[in-house]
Amino acid sequence: MLFNLFKKKEPGANFADRTFASLAAKKRACIALARQDDSAVFIAWFQETAQTFRAAFAAHGLAAERVMEVNVVHSAKLAGHSIFFLEHHPLRSKEEALVATWPAQTFMVYNSLEDGLLKQFGADSIARLMKQMGMQED
């Protein structure tokens, strides 16, 4: 283990992040994306997130089934779809294990500064600073 310290990291999935100041802005972005891309599916790690986004999709006339919980997702269900995550899992290894067998190797993750994981790293302070600077939620 110690001898692998400086070894090159093995290639794996690449997670790109898009972060919004608020949950409302994140919902608007996901809804806009769902309207633009009929093949887009949204994966949530946690049930509460899935329920929140299913309700938002339904309220805007979009199919709530496009929001899936990670425990019901498998690669056959995702064939021909663009995959977007609605949050990060606290353990990167879980994310990488999930997508290891999926054909796509780059995944977009939509975050907001109101997400629980980001709050653990001081997102509240960043959100206040952004407001003071006059930045938009989006």
CATH code: domain of residue 88? 3.40.50.300
Cα atoms in the 13 Å half-sphere on the side-chain side of 6? 0
**Separation of alpha carbons 44 and 86, rounded Å:** 5
Predicted local distance difference test score (pLDDT) of residue 5: 54
**pLDDT tens-digit profile of 71-96?**
888 777 788 888 999 988 877 788 88
Residue 90 lies in a domain: yes
Range of 111's domain? 14-132
- For strands 106-112 and 82-85, give the pairing: parallel
**Which residues are CB-neighbours of 83 under 8 A, at least 6 positions away?**
41, 43, 102, 104, 107, 108
Containing H/E element for 77? helix 75-78
> For position 117, what pLDDT does the model report?
58
Answer yes or no: is 5 within a domain.
no
- CA Rg, the chain, in Å? 16
The answer to whether residue 2 sits within a structural domain is no
9 in a structural domain: no
User: Which segments in the chain show pLDDT lower than 50?
Assistant: 1
Give residue 7's pLDDT: 56
- Residue 137 covered by a domain: no
Domain count, the chain: 1
> So what's the pLDDT on residue 51?
96
Q: Give yes or no for a contact between 87 and 49, defined as CB atoms under 8 angstroms apart.
A: yes
Dig out the tokens for 14 from the structure.
Answer: 């690449």
Cβ atoms of residues 95 and 119 within 8 Å: no
DSSP lists the bridge partners of residue 109 as: 17, 85
